[in-house]
Amino acid sequence: STSLVQYYQQRKKERQIAHFAPRPIELRSDEIVKGVSGLIGNTPLVRINSLSDALGVEILGKAEFLNIGGSVKDRVALQMIDDAERAGFIRPYTGSRIFEGTVGSTGISIATIARARGYETTIIMPDDVAEEKVKALQALGAEVERVRPASIVDKKQYVNLARQRAARFGEEDSIDANDPSSKAKEHTHILQSTSDSVVSEMPRHVRFEDGDEDENASRTQPRGFFADQFENRSNFDAHFKGTGPEIWRQTNGRVDAFVAGAGTGGTVAGTGHYLKSMNEDIFVAIADPEGSGLYNKVKYGVMYDPKESEGTKRRHQVDTAVEGIGINRLTHNIELALPILDDAFRITDAEAVSMSRYLVKYDGLFLGSSSACNLVACVKLVKQKGWKEGQTVVTILCDSGTRHYSKFW
């Protein structure tokens, strides 16, 4: 019995040692972050073990699904809102309303930051996007308008509608503000009272994140602002100043290729330009889903198959289960990307679906459809280059599978 007591005493000591042995703690940030903006960017770079081990090449994904709004678009929304505030287009708690045309992710990002900063949001989106994105937007209190998917040449296309709504919002307020019978007045009144009630719950002055205070904030005219992620330079800047430098730092500059899909083109343009500015040999390629014109543009210099008739071109829409990437027109951010694109990979829906299943099965990574496309393109690139050992390919894990249950999954 003595030996048994000794045995248990020894085990207890071991357990205590194991329990109290100091373990290295790695924090994503050492600071206490200030509000939701502090939960955007600075994402980890994760090694995709299954693919890296199988290929002998490091495949690294930027874990953008960890941003507070759940996607890479948080970076863009934050930059667009910061820049619009700096330019004086919007002012917190004055009834300013942000309008955007989006397939969902950017809307969720804008609505999240807007809530934290005292703005209203109107999101216009096609009615065929995954239902869970609409629910997230509604939960965040955004006004959501869903329209039939249409080509950009159609006035009722979602981006065109967002632009029109924003313009009309501003116009009505400035032209009709003194007319009690006008609808605009009514709208202004509703917005004003919403913001007043919020302000009354706040400390006496509206406090801005930069530390400024504005006593007159609730008396300023409400304004409409069209965020316009496709044409807005802030989109490029978010990645040129954030995603690109982060990847460079996290890899100690050891990057051989960067791969991303393009929806607005902001990610690939901003990140690609930054990485090339550090090392022009870094190979930059896009993952392009079926129905998108970018693949042809990069490969052959034309957006459409020249054999297609003008009529077909006009009706052409990106028709894929993949959400968020692929486009059939040249936007400002796509134009910024084109000069640095070294190649493009056409990704079928079937390839994206099987990659997403593979990542769950072997890595426990439940990702969205554009992340799956990106990883298919990484594999294609490694095979095309004949890379076998030591190279590093970086891509973007744009969002989680939870945003894609009802459509892609």
Footprint on this chain of ligand PMP (rule: CB under 6 A): 71, 73, 103, 105, 261-267, 323-325, 368, 370, 398-399
Using CA atoms, how far apart are residues 32 and 324, in angstroms rounded to an integer?
Answer: 32
Query: Between residues 73 and 97, which has the closer beta carbon with respect to ligand PMP?
Result: 73
* Distance (Å, whole) CA 289 – CA 372: 11
CB of 131 to ligand PMP, least distance (A): 15
Three-class SS state of 209: coil
Rounded least distance, CB 379 to ligand PMP, Å: 18
Q: CB 116 → ligand PMP: shortest distance, Å? A: 20
- Closest approach of ligand PMP to the CB of residue 93, in Å: 29
CB 372 within 8 A of CB 348: no
Q: Of 118 and 266, which CB lies nearer to ligand PMP in the complex structure?
A: 266
Closer to ligand PMP by Cβ: residue 59 or 108: 108
Nearer Cβ to ligand PMP, position 112 or 264? 264
Query: 195 or 296, CB closer to ligand PMP?
Result: 296
* CB closest to ligand PMP, residue no: 324
State which residue, 264 or 391, has the beta carbon closest to ligand PMP. Answer: 264
Which whole-number Å values give the CA distances from 171 to 114, 168, 185, 221, 287, in the listed order?
22, 5, 11, 11, 40
Q: How far, in Å, CA of 159 to CA of 100, rounded?
A: 7
Task: Tell the smallest beta-carbon distance from residue 403 to ligand PMP (Å).
Answer: 7
Fill in the amino acid letter for 376: V
CA geometry: angle at 308 spanning 307 and 313, to 5°? 150
Which CB atom, from 82 or from 399, has the smaller least distance to ligand PMP?
A: 399
For the record, the structure tokens of 251 come out as: 């890899």
- Minimum CB separation from ligand PMP for residue 409, in Å? 14
Give the separation between CA 259 and CA 270, rounded to whole angstroms: 12
Please list the helix, strand and coil fractions of the chain in percent, rounded to the nearest 5, in that order. Answer: 50, 15, 35
Q: How far is the CB of 248 from ligand PMP (least distance, A)?
A: 18
CA-based torsion, 301, 304, 306, 310: positive or negative: negative
